[in-house]
Structure 1
C-alpha cells in the first residue's frame, strides 16, 4: 500500500522561496513573464535559509530594522526597532535576536505574535543601497535572564522588558534599484571632521613653507 505524503514532507520538499511565492504570486509571475527565472532558482532549492558570513556582517552593521507581524485575522503591522550597530544579534545560523525595551506600551507586536508567529524582518542600508528581506517565525521571551543579558548592549543600563527571537525560514537580497542614497549623521560628521583635519594639516604645511 502506498504511504500518504505528510504535510511536513511536502513542506520539506518545497523550495524555501515558497514562503513568499504562493500560487497566486506564481500565477502573476507567469502572466508577466518572470516565472521562468524564478522557477530555475526554485529548482536549486530557493532562497538561502541560514546565516551566511556576508549576511552576518550586514546584520552586525545595522542600526535599524523593521519587524512585520500580523494578527490572527491577517491585519499587518510594522514596528521599527533601532540601536547601536550590533543590537540585532546572530545567535546561531538560523536564529536572530534583540533586546526589546519598553516603548509606548501598545504591545501590538507582542499580541500579534501571541496569535500568529509568522514574521518578517526588513533591513536596509541606505548608504550602500542594499536591502535584505528575511522570512520566518518570531517569539517573545520574558523569563530568561541570561538571554536578556546576552542581548543587552554593553554599558546600556536600560531595563530589558523582553527579548524577540526570530527563526529564519528564508532570506533574499534585493537589487539597489530605487533605494535613495542616505548617510548616517555620525558618518557624515566623521567624514567632515576628517576633511577639516586634512585641510588644517595642509594649511600648516603651507604656512611652514611661506
Structure 2
C-alpha cells in the first residue's frame, strides 16, 4: 500500500479488500469506530518503547520484489532492540546462517513488519513500517549489547509507520528460563532468610529459658 494514500493509520493493514471482508463477516462497524476514535498508534509511546527494549526475541517480516513473504527470527539479550526515537527502532544484525534473504528483500522492497510477543505477560505488539540496512560501524557498535558474544557487520534501522497491540486471548503463558531461574533463586533466598530467622528465634528462646531457670534457682536460694 502507498502510505501517502493512508487516511487512517490502520489503513496500512485494512486495505479496501480487508474492509470489504470485514463488512461481509460482520466486524466492519467495530473497526470503523476504532479508526475514527483512536486508530493504530503512529508514535511509539513510553510504554511500548519499554516493552520493545525488554524483549529478547522478535520476528521480522519482509517480502521480495514479487511479494513473496519471509519471516526471520532475531534474538539477543534484553536491550538488543533499541528505540532511537518515537518512530525509529534499530538493532545490530548478528551474523547467522548467511542466507541474506532479509537483506536481499530489503534491497528490493523496504516494506517490513515486526511482531513481538511476551508469553509471560501474554502481550503482543505489531509494528508496520520500512527498514533499511546500514553499514555504519559506529551505529553497529552503539547497538551491540554489552558483553554479548556475537558478531555484527551491519545494523537494521526500522522506521515505524503504525503499531497496534493485540488482546491476550489464545496466547499461552510461558516463561523464559533465566526468569524462572531468577524467581527460584529469589524463593530459595527467602527460604534461607526465614530459616536463619527461625534459628535465631529458637536460640533466643533457649537463652530466655536458661535465664528463667537461673532466676528460679536464684529465687530458691
Same fold by TM-score, threshold 0.5 exceeded?
yes
* Matched-pair contact (CA < 8 Å) for 1:15–1:45: no
Superposed displacement of residue 174, structure 1: 0.2
Give aligned pairs, total: 201
Counterpart residue number, 1:3: none
Q: Choose the corresponding residue for 2:146, options 154, 177, 182.
A: 154
Superposed displacement of residue 157, structure 1: 6.2
Counterpart residue number, 1:11: 5
1:178 aligns with 2:174: no
Distance 2:44 2:64 in 1: 27
Query: How far does the alpha carbon of each residue in 1:145-194 deviate from its partner, in whole angstroms, 9 at most, with x for none?
Result: 22112111123464322111111110000000000000111111111111
Please, what TM-score do these two structures have when normalized by structure 2?
0.86
Superposed displacement of residue 206, structure 1: 2.9
Distance 2:59 2:164 in 1: 15
Counterpart residue number, 1:4: none
* Matched-pair contact (CA < 8 Å) for 1:68–1:77: yes
Counterpart residue number, 2:121: 128
1:62 aligns with 2:55: yes
Counterpart residue number, 1:104: 97
Backbone CA RMSD of aligned residues = 1.7
* Matched-pair contact (CA < 8 Å) for 2:137–2:153: no
1:50 aligns with 2:27: no
Distance 2:160 2:95 in 1: 25
Higher helix share: 2
Superposed displacement of residue 93, structure 1: 1.1
